[in-house]
Chain A
């Protein structure tokens, strides 16, 4: 066995050893994030010169709706919306 065969065998055995190492199955990806930060009031996006529309959704539900609700029962709306609402991806 010449020097290159020995070197090759060492590399192969090293590779096999690395392959055989038990992998750390613990995920390094954290499962937590910041959910919220307590805000002070008023916030700068409350009605002001630049704000066209603002809703904090704190209005009582019995008040007149401010939004058009998508009607899923309408035949033309079944299956994912009209072409004007389609998104790519």
Chain B
């Protein structure tokens, strides 16, 4: 089986590959971390790796403190932004929505002070302990126009 998961989503998979034929003396003999572009990259680029794991079981999602603290990417040209948390990767149960934050704010805490709990967590003051949540963001530009939401990403599991 070959499966590629990104941010808790199955992005690609093949289940009909024979990785080793009848050779059973060894398992994995090498893992490559590399950047390859068939015809060469159009510009100089870099990629950073961290917390690299080789495991016989799926890893993740990340275990976050409860309440979780999140940091956003810098973005460009935004005047304000908002965040939401859901208990599923499709956003069927949105359980928290942040207040609108100014562009100077790069992070927030998912708690009642920074937003409102809703859905299955309406009236609560923190996320369910020991549960997986997905996040999404949107931004408002200088003209006051809101962007679409990002896809649900950055899954986290709250500490038990």
Contact = CB atoms under 8 A, between A and B. Distances in A.
A34 B52 CA distance: 20
B125 to A, nearest CB: 19
Contacts of B138: 30
Nearest to B142: A26
Given A45-B51, A50-B55, A40 B71 contact: no
A3 interface: no
Contacts of B28: 52
A67 to B, nearest CB: 7
B33 interface: yes
Main SS of the interface on chain A? loop
Contacts, number: 128
Interface in A34-76: 34-40, 43-45, 50-57, 67, 70
A23 interface: no
Candidate in A36, A38, A88 with the most chain B CB atoms within 10 angstroms:
A38
A33 B72 contact: yes
Contacts of B31: 53
B119 to A, nearest CB: 19
A8 interface: no
Contacts of B153: 33-34
Contact of A35 (B53, B59, B72, B147): B72
Interface in A15-30: 24, 26-30
Contact of B139 (A31, A37, A55, A86): A31
A38 B156 CA distance: 10
Interface of B: 28, 31-34, 36-38, 40, 49-57, 59-60, 62-65, 68-78, 81, 83, 135, 137-139, 141, 143, 145, 147-150, 153-154, 156, 159
